[in-house]
Structure 1
């Protein structure tokens, strides 16, 4: 787990991905890798004509179609390489040092799963090039990536803004404390003010759990404010983010229930869909 890995495609969000990846690479003192995955469903590596022998004139047509597919795939690979080179230039301007370029042919989630032993932090845009959704929506593959990749994932906003204030969503669970410990041990947000927010009743038990989390962050040298607020989780967190001009939201992927072991936690999934700022998901 050594590299910051950034997923690049032809979407507008790739510019923000480059900038956030360069920022994270510098903060973590970790090498940066830029990855482009050519979808094998859109651009098959080769056509399978087995079973078509004996079709006569149709066989020739199928061979011509296979040739066209191969030409399309070759052009797509060249276009992907050009995108990587442009992303390389962008990250150098943003302060990255000698990013590596990597291109793969396959499915995004499968490719990332194969590469995750080398990933310290994955940086990916909220919406990919194939999405018809707005920049404030969530791309169709993001939840699949979060379910599959057991690494921290930074899901970027549509435009880069250097993080200056961070909010950590906390629910008092054992998983949430592990998230706090993981965050406290990372240099990603050192020297930045951290707001740890718990949504729920202002009870003695909740105050105890929140203070424990705050102490963990403070003992790591992080400037930390902690609050318990009543209301609906998503509404409260979004209002707090707007009021305090938070730039980065940090969340764990899972909540209390073991039933969610193969799913993204419901609050996390909702926040990923509705948040307009960048979200760091910790596993």
Structure 2
């Protein structure tokens, strides 16, 4: 089975950035690119949708009208999805992707992704979705469900995407971030880019030794890999380093066993993604 870059798109303002990020990744990885648009299940109209004391004939008539309205909404949503997919494929072709494909599915996003997980090499999402945008809210809880359910790397993009020139890896010595170092070293996704190794915590001999091993792996793969240990709270320290050093993309473990894990548990996931000004690549 060929692995691919899978990009989830909808009608939100993040869709163009998702297209650009996915096209960039697919070109770097020399992997096929597929766009996925998921239609939520159409609400079924039942008698419980109606309230108050109305006559049987009136109720049946209203139920029929509501059923017709839901059917029309479903058709409109399906057509809108087709147009979104067509626009995404056209944008990808303009970026250099020769044969992007599109999929439209009914159901839940998490369930749909779970069914296709084995073929996904990289999943690309916007940090907010269409429903959250209309509600003026962040899609944190929805996105967190995807992060928790997937074992594949997930690239969460901001409203605008530019090909990164500098990346940083939030390293804590855990199995997840050690795997992240190996991934960066072996993958063509970041080849030729400086990769800053940033650890937050006590500056101990063990921490220095862990960073040195990580740097050695990257340098053997011909990466420029500056390393640093920062004091303070992880979210503040990492964000500050990113801004001060012009980092274009951050790589982090979605779950860990150190203080960094608090960035990705519960509502903090939403806060980190909301406040980030650069794309995040989340690892499991």
Tell me what 2:148 maps to: 147
Structure-1 separation of matches of 2:209 and 2:90: 48
Structure-1 separation of matches of 2:45 and 2:266: 41
Measured at CA, do residues 31 and 236 of structure 1 come closer, stay the same or move farther in structure 2, by a change above 3 Å?
A: same
Structure-2 separation of matches of 1:104 and 1:29: 25
Which structure: greater helix fraction? 2
RMSD over aligned CA atoms reads 2.7
Tell me what 1:131 maps to: 132
Structure-1 separation of matches of 2:103 and 2:143: 20
Structure-2 separation of matches of 1:154 and 1:130: 20
Cα distance per residue 1:158-197 (max 9 Å; x no partner): 1011111000001122332122223322211011111010
TM-score by length of 2: 0.88
**Which range moves more in the overlay, 171-180 or 77-86?**
171-180
**Which range moves more in the overlay, 13-22 or 137-146?**
137-146
Which sections of structure 2, spanning at least 5 residues, go unmatched?
49-55
Number of residue pairs aligned between Structure 1 and Structure 2: 274
Alignment check: 8 A CA contact 1:251 1:268 kept: no
- The CA deviation at 1:63 is 2.3
**Which range moves more in the overlay, 104-113 or 17-26?**
104-113
Cα distance per residue 1:32-79 (max 9 Å; x no partner): 001111111xx34x65689xxxx5552343123212211110111001
TM-score by length of 1: 0.88
Cα distance per residue 1:83-139 (max 9 Å; x no partner): 110111111112222101100111111111112122110000001111148999554
Structure-2 separation of matches of 1:106 and 1:210: 44
Alignment check: 8 A CA contact 2:176 2:283 kept: no
Q: 1:63 and 2:64 equivalent? A: yes
Alignment check: 8 A CA contact 1:36 1:103 kept: yes
Tell me what 2:280 maps to: 279
Structure-2 separation of matches of 1:63 and 1:237: 56
Structure-1 separation of matches of 2:252 and 2:229: 16
Which sections of structure 1, spanning at least 5 residues, go unmatched?
none
Tell me what 2:73 maps to: 72
Structure-2 separation of matches of 1:242 and 1:69: 47
Structure-2 separation of matches of 1:255 and 1:268: 14
The 5 A counterparts of 1:1-283 are 2-40=3-41, 43-44=42-43, 55-132=56-133, 139-256=140-257, 264-265=264-265, 269=269, 270-283=271-284
Structure-2 separation of matches of 1:182 and 1:220: 11
Alignment check: 8 A CA contact 1:13 1:159 kept: yes
